[in-house]
Amino acid sequence: LPKAVGAGKKVLITAGPTEEPIDPVRVLTNRSSGKMGYALAAAAAARGAEVTLVSGPVSLKVPDGVKAIKVKTAQDMFLAVTEHAKDNDIVIGCAAVSDYRVEKVSDQKIKKQDGIDELTLKLVKNPDIIATVGHMEHKRPFTVGFAAETNNIEHYAKDKIVKKNLDLIVLNDVSKQDIGFNSDFNAVTVFDKEGKVAAFPKMTKEVLSGVLMDLIFEMNKKA
């Protein structure tokens, strides 16, 4: 039998949304279901890799054979990923990380007040997890990001690959309702620093994850 493409490889994948607290009962979050990241974890494990999934709050079952670290906030995800990144050959950022968090989390439920019609929440920037991995100077893993864009998509994807120092970026157009966030389907274009590497039309996230992991293991071998 041929050796599995992922055998002997350690892969860390982030998945799902993050949840940034506002007060004890409210959060800032997004529409990521975790389906794409969990499917990638299953596909990597099926190819023989040792997989760590760093997951935001989702209602999915952890794939068999995958080690999961459950987190809520972007800061917690940052800590989990930066702790484990150096022990992995490949890190894939599929999570939809909140770019900003609430500066001062209220320790009591914020009340509706008579006569006050406007409320301002001050947000501060979260650390960029995949950019931190991409810029590691010691034991830097092969680093793959995703780009969820709604407009000018190729331009932003190319900009992110440079700024975050990624080896590959997987671009999905999230302005389309039938793919991307929360759908069972996705369609993606993959770029490296030189340009377009591959384009995969709409298919299930399970099938897409298989072809993406084959491509990622192949590109990692050449890198």
Catalytically active residues are 30
Q: Which two tokens stand for residue 84?
A: 């484990």
* Positions 26 through 45 that interact with ligand PMT (CB under 6 A): 32-37
Instruction: Give me the half-sphere count of Cα atoms (radius 13 Å) on the Cβ side of residue 122.
Output: 4
Is the separation of the CB atoms in 197 and 190 below 8 Å? yes
Given candidates 159, 175, 182, 223, which one binds ligand PMT under the rule CB under 6 A?
182
Task: Check binding of 126 to ligand PMT (CB under 6 A).
Answer: yes
Contact string (CB under 6 A) for ligand PMT, positions 139-158, x = contact: ------xxxx----------
| Residue (51 or 95) nearer to ligand PMT, CB | 95
Contact criterion met (CB below 8 Å) for 57 and 51: no
**Contact in structure between 52 and 13 (CB atoms under 8 Å):** yes
Joined tokens for residue 198: 């591959």
Cβ contact 105:83 at 8 Å: no
Binding status of residue 173 toward ligand PMT by CB under 6 A: no
Known binding-site residue numbers: 93-95, 99, 109, 127-130, 146, 160, 164
Known binding-site residue numbers for CTP: 93-95, 99, 109, 127-130, 146, 160, 164
